[in-house]
Amino acid sequence: MDKTYIRAEILKALGQPTRLKIIELLRDGECCVCEIFPAISEEQSNTSRHLNLMVSSGILSRRKEGVKIFYSVKHSETFAIVDLATRIMVQEITDRHEMLHAA
């Protein structure tokens, strides 16, 4: 598989609001799916679909304990990607605000 394609799949998996909410929730560590969907105010089926996509793209890992399924961020560098996107967002907001006030 092409490296560019794999990188695009990872970024695509992170580039969705519900998935970003999940990543932020998992910043403090592993969570059961039963805790995730109410915490992000989503339906369980929709949450499961997003979790499965992030597992298949290598963003999350999953483990089963009895009937519970727990998810965690597989690579801590994922948080660095999200943090960089946040810094870019803040800079863009600042730049646009300054541009509006300069006019």
- Quote the pLDDT of residue 103: 67
Taking the domains of the chain in order of start, what are their residue ranges? 3-102
Integer Cα distance of 73 and 77 in angstroms? 9
User: Measuring CA to CA, which residue among 71, 89, 91 is closest to residue 81?
Assistant: 89
CB 71 within 8 A of CB 25: no
Condensed to tens digits (0 to 9), the pLDDT of residues 38-77 reads: 999 998 899 999 999 999 999 999 999 999 999 999 999 9
pTM above 0.85, yes or no: yes
Specify the CATH class of 3-102 in words: mainly alpha
- Quote the pLDDT of residue 72: 98
